[in-house]
């Protein structure tokens, strides 16, 4: 026993430390759920009707790979310089950064990239890889998008356009101060260089027969737009002769005319055409008042357009329904019933209801109506719904060769939606033609190519060139609560610059500088896609995550991952999901 008093321990280490490696302890056997890296869909892409891989090109920009970023953008969006200017950018309202410190100024980044592309060299002619020729009716954004994607796939494409210059609504409907003609013209030059053939001044059904299109082309895409202004029937002017159609007015001004509208102009309507008419009339020197039957909240126009119109001096009169018009010596007198808002309608907007108050009378030299446009449906002989179904399900043999998209198909009337429709048609045409050549495309493919649930298709997916290894379904969109905002610092969003205030037709919004656009790319949360930030590796208590530098990804040692989920919780961008192991309920 003597040694037990004040003996010096020789065999015990001074601290509790295992004598062997802990690798033998397979803590992975404890788990019932395990993490997996999922390259998921960012909400911006899901919100974009064109399905642009926004997170993807932001990542490339952050890595200073501007050319690669531009190429990725161009894979889905044929005209970023244009959409960066005129799109209502639903990507930004979907951005997970909204609640944090304001969405990423995606449109500004897109515009900067688009401008760099247009400033560059013209592209070479696309190589023809298919024997089939495709005809497209209409050279608006839907027709151009379809043609663009098809020539990139290797088809010979010809566009028929009734106007003298291509562009459709981009040219005749959008004022120059929002979309300078130089940008549009340069974009068209790019398309011509790629090999798209334009037949301008050539109206389908008149200058070229439908029979010719049906027999000389393997497929036809009809994207003829909506060019018929809805008629407003008023007491005292049933035929609408005293009223100026908004679209006609814009067409004239956009073609170079500068009509004298008189001192006072009334614009009836609350959509984008109404805003374009109001701001254009303002530039022609008139005092402009917009008359709308609901309130500002219900106006369908893009919020920035309404704000710009207000800032430039357009007056707004809400809750008024024009009922009669009369000619005076001094001009026109519009008599409007006063309205109030009632219950919600089917679209979730409050329905305007008449009041018993005496009518309000407004006087002006010119009254413009912009209450919506319709397509010239008579040009299409088939039942519209059947055609649309054929496009959307790929399955209707009767109309397999005829595709329809954009405003003419009743899509949401935005440039982004038209670009998405054109892409959808290009994929449908490619599938149709290749099916005829013996290839098989299962119906599930359509869902696999869908981004989010908005119906946009991924061209990257169709072309098997998706730079991101998306292993989960493409419609698995990262929700804001999946973002670990503790990993991000607040940084103020960069807003577009505006030239000194002037009411001219020159573009006043000068966008973002290249440095600002890069700073916006740095603000991107990169939702859903691992950017190798290492937080998972740092926080993994089991040291079970290692970096595979060859493939640029993290690998989980499942023998030692005990399924604690700290990686998922710490991942700033929702790129890691916990999955239940088979047989574990």
For the CB of residue 519, give the shortest distance to other proteins in the complex, in Å. Answer: 22
3-class SS of residue 302: coil
The C-alpha atoms of residue 208 and residue 96 are separated, in whole angstroms, by 49
Under rule CB under 8 A, residue 2 binds other proteins? no
- Closest distance to other proteins from the beta carbon of 443 (Å): 48
Q: Which is nearer to other proteins, 27 or 458 (CB)?
A: 27
State in angstroms the smallest separation of the CB of 485 from other proteins: 17
From 19-27, 286-294, 315-323, 465-473, give the range in contact with other proteins by CB under 8 A: 19-27
Q: How far, in Å, CA of 422 to CA of 442, rounded?
A: 21
Enumerate the β-bridge partners of residue 198.
Answer: 159
Which of 1, 3, 5, 18 forms a contact with other proteins (CB under 8 A)? 18
Nearer to other proteins, 16 or 238 (CB): 16
**Angle at the Cα of 265 from the Cα atoms of 261 and 266, rounded to 5 degrees:** 140
Region near other proteins per CB under 8 A, out of 8-16, 59-67, 263-271, 275-283:
8-16
> Pick from 543, 548, 552, 584: which binds other proteins (CB under 8 A)?
543
Site for other proteins in 22-81 (CB under 8 A): 22-23, 25
Q: Is 17 in the site for other proteins (CB under 8 A)?
A: yes
User: Which residue's CB is nearer to other proteins, number 259 or number 541?
Assistant: 541
Binder to other proteins among 1, 2, 5, 15 (CB under 8 A)? Answer: 15
DSSP 306-351: HHHHHHHT-EEE-SEEEEEEEEETTEEEEEEEEEEEEEE-TTSPEE
Phi (first) and psi of residue 324, to 5 degrees: -145, 160
Supply the minimum distance, in Å, between the C-beta of residue 551 and other proteins: 20
Give the span between the Cα atoms of 477 and 485, in whole angstroms: 17
Eight-class DSSP state of 399: G
Q: Which of 1, 14, 486, 582 binds other proteins (CB under 8 A)?
A: 14
Three-state secondary-structure class, residue 239: coil
Q: How far is the CB of 541 from other proteins (least distance, A)?
A: 11
Q: Which is nearer to other proteins, 22 or 395 (CB)?
A: 22
Return the residue of 2, 3, 5, 16 that touches other proteins, per CB under 8 A: 16
Neighbours of 141 (CB within 10 A): 32
Number of residues that bind other proteins (CB under 8 A): 16
- CA-CA distance, 512 to 506, in Å (whole number)? 17
Q: Should residue 549 be labelled a site residue for other proteins when binding is judged by CB under 8 A?
A: no
Compare residues 30 and 32 and give the one whose CB is closer to other proteins.
Answer: 30
CA 502 to chain centre: 29
Which CB sits closer to other proteins, 7 or 239?
Answer: 7
Stretch that binds other proteins, among 14-22, 96-104, 324-332, 339-347 (CB under 8 A): 14-22
Phi-psi region of 184 (alpha: psi -120 to 50; beta: other; left: phi over 0): alpha
Report the b/e string of 160-170 with b at 16+ CB within 10 A. Answer: bbbbebbbbbb
Q: Which residues contribute to the site for other proteins (CB under 8 A)? A: 8-9, 12-23, 25, 543
């Amino acid at each position: 026993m003597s040694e037990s008093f004040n003996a010096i321990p020789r065999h015990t280490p001074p601290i509790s430390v295992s004598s062997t490696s802990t690798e033998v302890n397979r803590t992975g056997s404890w788990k019932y759920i395990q993490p997996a890296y999922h390259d998921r869909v960012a909400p911006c892409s899901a919100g974009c009707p064109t399905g642009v891989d926004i997170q993807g090109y932001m990542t490339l920009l952050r890595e200073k790979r501007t050319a690669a970023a531009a190429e990725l953008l161009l894979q889905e969006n044929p005209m970023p310089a244009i959409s960066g200017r005129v799109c209502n950018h639903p990507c930004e309202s979907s951005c997970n950064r909204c609640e944090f410190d304001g969405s990423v100024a995606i449109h500004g980044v897109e515009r900067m990239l688009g401008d760099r592309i247009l400033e560059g060299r013209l592209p070479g002619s696309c190589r023809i890889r298919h024997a089939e020729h495709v005809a497209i009716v209409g050279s608006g954004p839907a027709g151009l998008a379809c043609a663009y994607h098809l020539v990139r796939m290797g088809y010979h494409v010809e566009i028929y356009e009734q106007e003298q210059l291509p562009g459709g609504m981009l040219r005749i409907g959008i004022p120059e101060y929002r979309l300078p003609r130089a940008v549009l013209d340069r974009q068209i030059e790019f398309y011509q260089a790629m090999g798209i053939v334009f037949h301008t001044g050539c109206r389908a059904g008149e200058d070229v027969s439908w029979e010719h299109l049906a027999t000389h082309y393997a497929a036809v895409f009809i994207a003829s737009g909506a060019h018929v202004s809805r008629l407003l029937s008023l007491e005292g002017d049933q035929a609408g002769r005293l009223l100026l159609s908004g679209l006609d007015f814009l067409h004239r001004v956009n073609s170079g005319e500068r009509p004298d509208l008189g001192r006072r102009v009334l614009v009836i309507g609350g959509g984008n055409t109404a805003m374009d008419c109001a701001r254009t009339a303002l530039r022609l020197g008139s005092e402009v008042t917009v008359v709308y039957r609901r309130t500002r909240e219900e106006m369908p126009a893009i919020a920035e357009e309404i704000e710009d119109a207000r800032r430039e001096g357009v007056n707004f009169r809400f809750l008024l329904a024009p009922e009669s018009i009369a000619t005076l010596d001094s001009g026109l007198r519009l008599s409007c019933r006063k309205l109030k808002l009632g219950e919600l309608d089917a679209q979730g907007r409050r329905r305007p209801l008449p009041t018993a108050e005496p009518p309000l009378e407004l006087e002006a030299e010119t009254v413009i109506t912009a209450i919506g446009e319709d397509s010239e449906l008579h040009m299409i002989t088939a039942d519209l719904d059947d055609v649309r179904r054929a496009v959307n399900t790929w399955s209707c043999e009767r109309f397999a060769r005829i595709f329809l998209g954009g405003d003419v198909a009743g899509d949401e009337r935005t440039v982004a939606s038209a670009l998405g429709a054109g892409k959808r048609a290009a994929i449908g045409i490619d599938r149709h033609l290749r099916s005829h050549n013996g290839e098989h495309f299962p119906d599930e493919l359509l869902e696999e190519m869908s981004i989010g649930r908005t119906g946009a298709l991924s061209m990257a997916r169709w072309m098997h060139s998706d730079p991101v290894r998306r292993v989960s379904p493409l419609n698995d969109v990262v929700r804001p609560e999946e973002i670990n905002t503790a990993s991000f610092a607040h940084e103020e969003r960069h807003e577009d610059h505006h030239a000194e205030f002037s009411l001219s037709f020159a573009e006043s919004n000068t966008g973002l500088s290249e440095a600002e656009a890069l700073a916006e790319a740095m603000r991107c949360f990169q939702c859903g896609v691992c950017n190798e930030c290492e937080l998972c590796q740092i926080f993994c208590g089991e040291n079970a995550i290692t970096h595979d530098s060859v493939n640029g990804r993290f690998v989980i040692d499942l023998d030692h991952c005990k399924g604690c989920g700290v990686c998922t919780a710490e991942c700033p961008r929702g790129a890691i999901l916990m999955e239940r192991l088979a047989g574990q309920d």
